[in-house]
Structure 1
């Protein structure tokens, strides 16, 4: 490998994930692939609850599975959507939108494909995902509007609407730019402090160095765009710093951690709370007469702390 070569477009994805399905081994590790030709690969944080149904369906269509993971069902599903596409010029964004409509559970996903070289698509539901933006040049905008699906699209999602500073994020004069998809700001802070926090069912596409954000449909309360925010944190804050232990550090960081946890979930302007992992099950929860909190470690203490508030609800 020649490390002196400068690439016009380069894309790589990787992920360290707890083995939620199957034992920790190379076959079950990420990225997961759609087939032996690696037509589509995906990394995934979260748990897909209907993966067994998806796997059974895909196996009935002749797709062979290699791993025990729930993630492989996603990789196979996007290939199935591509193999059965209704148009040769279908965009990568559209494929991902069709895939997530079939998924149940929580996920943060990033896709890449040999059919869409130089492109990456990320999406989330109930699991955090942000995009770090790094460029030495001025960006076209600090607020990206949401693009909603209006009909049949063309390959290259950023061209669905007019391509200017109101629809995509890119450096002016087409200068160099880097995008980082991550679940937490601590993963990107050493590279950039400018980030975009995605919301549930956002589909972010990077095409030819331009970033656009899409949603399948418009719903009440949707914000019209996503802002490029500047993080007020340093790399040293991720390390132990001047604290005697990481436990002491975590104790003193509780106020900031609470604020970061609320980011993207609590809207102080309209006094609403959005919990992506729960909103699809509100009706079932409202019918419950008993709620059991199961946890260990610090999560157990969090459960104990909140149990009194839950018990105060008249329905429990």
Structure 2
């Protein structure tokens, strides 16, 4: 959540920072601001709304500076307004801070500071932190760097911070715990950001700051220490991300581009791992831990939102193929219910960003109980990738749209490969079925392409249902999590209330909602549950519900039974979610566009949820 950009070097800082903030808009925010240091001193400009509103605010201002920082805020403490926007000054206005995360003990710190004469302009925990740092520096006469270290040792919560000081126009100080921060290293210049997207235009050399580390850039040099002032050697790595990957590429929205990228992202998630003709499956990131996965007494999958839905799909697949019991947990609930975790358990943590705070907390809890932790995430060098014992990247490429699409199918692809690898090692899958599924996986991108060719038909159906205020999505077996995901996509971007249910559960409550105004989406593919789903469709039609059916290509039984049929290619039941979810993504997208919604940046949502 929120976005951080900072720069010090020889370029003009303000346009660079503003461009970086626009690159981070996908993370979700409600206000924006910049701090610049020049001959006029340390100046902060901030505005409720979008970066374009901030740019209007900056018109006519003296913005010349070669050091600056900017922030897009997603409100936690204090309503979205100009005052609560970042950056925040210290009390004497000689320091400024930008901050992602939450300081949990801010109220106690604030009370102590007020007793010492401090006054606060905002309602934020972030202003408390910078005034706390200011108070330590004043009281102990230490350096700003030392004051930051001392303050952070007393802070409870999560943070990624960058601090500027009017007294030093060459210095940026940054630190992190539980919220991402990356440092770009150029020729005589440095960049900081929440992720690499604002940096790649200028340099591919980056350092991912670790938890409890403090970075100081001063006089053109980078120094990294721990909170106890032990100096570390920063690990510089190359970013593989290309600038073209974070541009729209001719599409109206990032979300539509990412839906249409799924044939490639699914293929990329299998590239180098699957060779069906040789019966070959290798997951290099799991090589040393595959025995633990195959011999585990139980798998616990943790995730949030779309990643939780991917975990539900994986539950069916692991249990079917590898015969290992699986539990799927909301990461946000897992840590608060004293879960029973044994040393022979395997925990699989799923996160697109690799920075989800609740999922990271679940990982730490499971590790403390001796479990083996696997990660499935999309961002190289992310916190979850570094916190887990082993895992696999999804290789979906950057996903800018807040509502996840290609990340879901990439996660399901990788989780399917993990289940196949475990089943093969355990001996619970025949060689014939193993090779068949590998072959079908290799053929999958072409079948997804075929679904996408029907986008105009789905657009026509979406137009008919733009009136709706509610939707119900129903599926059985592996398609039940798909129903949940389809409902989530619609509510996220169109703001239509939508709910997903197992189709058989409709009779136990939701059927009361069915009337001639209620659209019901059935995932009714030709699988082992097909006849049961047809019976559920008849129950809805008997009550005059309007039915959209996602059906297997060549299906004839449903044509005269439902209002609309969207056909998809036939695949093995195990792989059906990778196909059946595509039309639901398109349906949600087109309904939202026709209702005039901001599809890429839906209200109140953030791409990377780095607070609890």
- Give the TM-score of the pair, scaled to structure 1: 0.63
Residue 198 (structure 1) aligns with = 209
CA distance in 2, matches of 1:116, 1:127: 26
What aligned pairs does 1:127-138 form with structure 2 within 5 A after superposition? Answer: 127-135=179-187
How many residues were matched structurally? 234
Instruction: Give the one of 79, 89, 102 matched to 1:33.
Output: 89
By how many angstroms is 1:51 displaced? 1.2
Structure-1 residue corresponding to 2:455: none
Task: For residues 2-52 of structure 1, give each alpha carbon's deviation from its aligned partner in whole angstroms, at most 9, with x where no partner exists.
Answer: xx9999x831111111111111111001101112x4111100011111111
Query: In the alignment, is residue 43 of structure 1 matched against residue 54 of structure 2?
Result: no
Q: Which runs of structure 2 are paired with 1:93-112 in the superposition (5 Å)?
A: 93-112=145-164
Whether the 8 Å CA contact 2:225–2:232 is kept in 1: the answer is: no
Asked if 1 retains the 8 angstrom alpha-carbon contact of 2:152 and 2:227, the reply is no
Q: Quote the Cα distance in structure 2 between the aligned partners of 1:309 and 1:5.
A: 52
Task: Quote how far apart the aligned CAs of 1:183 are.
Answer: 0.9
Contact 1:129 1:198 in 2 (8 A): yes
Offset of residue 247 of structure 1: 3.5
Larger radius of gyration: 2
The alpha-carbon deviation at position 116 of structure 1 amounts to 3.1
Counterpart of 1:286 in structure 2 is none
1:79 to 128, 134, 137: 134
Pick from 96, 103, 126: which aligns with 2:178? Answer: 126
Judged with a 3 Å threshold, the aligned counterparts in structure 2 of structure 1 residues 198 and 269 are, in CA distance, closer, same or farther, namely farther
**Does the 8 A contact of 1:240 with 1:249 survive in 2?**
no
1:70 to 1:315, Cα distance in 2 relative to 1, 3 A = same
Q: CA deviation at 1:218?
A: 8.3
User: What are the residue-to-residue correspondences of 1:182-197 with 2, within 5 Å?
Assistant: 182-197=193-208
* Cα distance in structure 2, aligned partners of 1:14 and 1:5: 13
Asked if structure 1 preserves the Cα contact closer than 8 Å seen for 2:98 and 2:162, the reply is yes
Distance change (3 Å), C-alpha of 1:194 and 1:29: same
Deviation at 1:91, TM superposition (A): 2.3
Q: Find the aligned partners of 2:238 and 2:247 in 1 and give their Cα distance.
A: 20
C-alpha change, 1:100 and 1:247, in structure 2 (3 Å) is farther
1:113 corresponds in structure 2 to 165
Work out the CA distance in 2 between the residues paired with 1:270 and 1:96.
40
Alpha-carbon offset, residue 103 of structure 1: 1.2
What is the CA–CA distance in structure 2 between the aligned matches of 1:254 and 1:110, rounded to whole Å?
Answer: 37
Give the whole-Å Cα distance in 1 for the aligned partners of 2:304 and 2:100: 19
Distance in 2 (CA, whole Å) between partners of 1:310 and 1:5 is: 49
In 2: Cα distance, 1:15 partner to 1:188 partner: 15
The DSSP-based 3-state class of the residue aligned with 1:13 is: strand
Segments of structure 2 that go 5 or more residues without pairing to the other structure are: 1-10, 14-37, 39-64, 270-284, 290-299, 316-325, 343-612
Q: What is the aligned counterpart of 1:235 among 230, 243, 251?
A: 243
Greater helix fraction, Structure 1 or Structure 2 = 2
5 Å-filtered alignment, 1:157-176, equals none
1:197-222 per-residue CA deviation (whole Å, 9 max, x = no partner) reads: 11001100011111111113389xxx
After superposition, the Cα gap between the structure-2 partners of 1:255 and 1:21, relative to the gap in structure 1 and judged at 3 Å, is farther
The CA deviation at 1:253 is 4.5
Deviation of 1:187 after TM superposition, in Å, equals 1.8
Provide the rounded CA distance (Å) in 1 between the counterparts of 2:165 and 2:267: 41
* Matching of residue 69 in structure 1 with residue 77 in structure 2: no
Matches within 5 A, 1:148-163: none
User: Aligned with 1:53: secondary structure?
Assistant: helix
Corresponding residue number in structure 2 for 1:261: none
CA contact (8 A) 1:39 1:79 kept: no
Gaps of 5+ in 1: 136-176, 258-266, 272-290
CA distance, structure 1, for counterparts of residue 117 and residue 134 of structure 2: 12
CA contact (8 A) 2:77 2:123 kept: yes
SS of alignment partner, residue 301 of structure 1: helix
Bigger relative contact order, structure 1 or 2, given CA contacts below 8 A and separation 6+? Answer: 1
Partner of 2:419: none
- Partners of 2:216 and 2:222 within 8 A in 1: yes
User: TM-score, normalization: structure 2?
Assistant: 0.34
- 1:92 corresponds in structure 2 to 144
The answer (yes or no) to whether the contact 1:194–1:230 under 8 Å persists in 2 is yes
After superposition, the Cα gap between the structure-2 partners of 1:302 and 1:211, relative to the gap in structure 1 and judged at 3 Å, is same
Shift of 1:256: 8.1
Q: Measure, in 1, the Cα distance between the counterparts of 2:244 and 2:175.
A: 29
1:245 aligns with 2:245: no
The 1:270/1:120 distance shift into structure 2, 3 A limit, reads farther
Q: CA RMSD in A?
A: 3.7
Cα distance in 1 for residues equivalent to 2:127 and 2:93 = 12
**Residue 59 of structure 2 corresponds to residue 13 of structure 1:** no
Once residues 125 and 288 of structure 2 are traced to their aligned partners in structure 1, the CA distance between those partners, rounded to angstroms, is 37
Aligned to 1:109, the other structure's residue is in SS state: strand
- Structure 2 counterpart SS, 1:84: helix
User: In 2, distance between residues paired with 1:67 and 1:195?
Assistant: 34
